[in-house]
Structure 1
Amino acid sequence: MKLENSVVLVTGATGGLGQEFVGQALERGAAKVYAAARRDRDWGDPRVVPIRLDVADPAAIDAAAAAARDVTVLVNNAGISGPRSLLSGDLREIRQTFETNVFGPLELVRAFAPILAGNGGGAVVDIHSVLSWLATPGVYSSSKAAFWGLTNSLRLELAAQGTQVLGAHFAYVDTPMTAHLDGVDKSAPDDIARRILDALEAGSSEVFADATTESVRAGLAGLTSGTFA
């Protein structure tokens, strides 16, 4: 999947990583980028088409699909952290986290799959986390684990129509979402976006976008093969 002359839709486009996806897609020659987000932003570029989108709102997803019939790349970037305890956290907020991090992306893929097929196959990029494989207290890691599993199944279903499905994993990124975290290493958003888009253009199905994630994944691979130490 080459980004030159592509039409990209990025969810969570006004966030730290979302802005990088928008800008770097344009730098790689995308003809248009739909910047989908819950809040407005002046992008200052006629190639960027803002779309108001809450990924937990099915009606908004249907409206986005109706408005963006030329999309060839869907980037499921939007996400929330959610309550830090599954036992004491507000159950409504826990459900909302799964709606945003799992069911919203699924509904987006269902809505855009026929569009991608009609435009030659295209690609879906799903933004996961190193916590897709490592459980932590709270809802975030369990929602990302569910999203990872969903991506793996969607990859099989979308293969018949020629749609590339890329799952992207990484640890902490220096964005507003992690601003409250002190004393941890954080990758630069531009570096993470670059690695993910490099993997997309290379035809990959999965990318480990930082050193922490590469190390964790190698350790897990060793564990399953009996060589983990």
Structure 2
Amino acid sequence: MTSLNNAIVLVTGANGGIGTEFVREALARGAAKVYATARNPRTWDDKRVVPLTLDVTDPASIRAAVDAAPDVTVLINNAGASPATASLLTLPEQDIRSTMETNFFGPLNLARAFASVLKGQEATAMVNIHSLLSWYATAGVYSVSKAALWSATNALRLDLAPEGVHVLGVHLGWVDTAMAVHTTDPKLPPAVLVSRVFDALEAGDHEVLADEASALIKAGLSAGIDELYPQLKSL
């Protein structure tokens, strides 16, 4: 179990709707300091928040973040990119590589870089934000990148558990942020999502199914490919 009380938290993608809520809720739960990272960090009205420049696709930027934040106890890999859902057969290769750099290699490289920091302290944790699309390949390269991150999270959990680092993976559907303005499907409020994530972290859980849609998709994995993708039956 990892308490947020007196924790030192680093949040990637802190300028976005979910990232901002992670910062706010960590402070509400007693975090002593929150590194709020982004490519262009903004100012905050709480002295416990430390704005920090971080580009998760840039190894030098990651190394600089480790140097600037050597006391982190909770790493939250929240930053991500949501590209066009074009077919993998037609999407430009550069777009595929760019998405993988942000959604897979970014969190993985942050985990590798901060592993020594987390292993050196007590009650430390890593939180990786996946998606229900980790299990449902209808969003092209986004699904591919999140599936890769989900698998990496499982592997990292096995690597870090003996070192006392708790790893939590989070699956979610639509969240009511700017990224979801185009859809009328049900959306989870960011505050509800983050509350569920931190509740799970403090309870020692390994996985969060943040909404009903995520639970339904995971339950459907055992039904077989034809059931998960009914469009195949019509071909």
Sort the TM-score into its range (normalised by shorter chain).
over 0.9
The share of aligned pairs that are identical, in percent, is 56
**1:201, CA displacement in angstroms?**
0.5
- Give the partner amino acid of 1:58: P
Matches within 5 A, 1:210-229: 210-221=211-222, 223=223
Separation of aligned partners in 2, 1:166 and 1:103: 18
The alignment status of 1:163 with 2:172, answered yes or no, reads: no
TM-score (norm 1): 0.94
RMSD over equivalenced CA pairs, Å = 1.3
**1:32, CA displacement in angstroms?**
0.2
**1:121, CA displacement in angstroms?**
5.1
1:187-222 superposed Cα distances (whole Å, 9 cap, x missing partner): 11110111011100100100101111122222324x
The alignment status of 1:76 with 2:81, answered yes or no, reads: no
Of 115, 123, 126, 2:125 maps to: 123
1:67: which partner in 2? 68
Runs of 4+ in 1 over 3 A off after TM superposition: none
Contact 1:172–1:178, Cα closer than 8 Å, also in 2: yes
Specify every segment of 5 or more residues in structure 1 that has no aligned partner in the other structure, as ranges: none
The alignment status of 1:150 with 2:180, answered yes or no, reads: no
1:6: which partner in 2? 7
The alignment status of 1:111 with 2:123, answered yes or no, reads: no
Separation of aligned partners in 2, 1:183 and 1:18: 22
1:31-56 superposed Cα distances (whole Å, 9 cap, x missing partner): 00000111221211000000111100
**1:137, CA displacement in angstroms?**
4.1
Contact 1:130–1:216, Cα closer than 8 Å, also in 2: yes
Contact 1:83–1:94, Cα closer than 8 Å, also in 2: no
Classify the secondary structure of the residue corresponding to 2:35.
strand
Classify the secondary structure of the residue corresponding to 1:151.
helix
1:133: which partner in 2? 135
Specify every segment of 5 or more residues in structure 2 that has no aligned partner in the other structure, as ranges: 229-235
Q: State the aligned residue count.
A: 223
Contact 1:121–1:161, Cα closer than 8 Å, also in 2: no
Distance 1:35 1:93, change over 3 A: same
Separation of aligned partners in 1, 2:183 and 2:167: 33
2:189: which partner in 1? 188
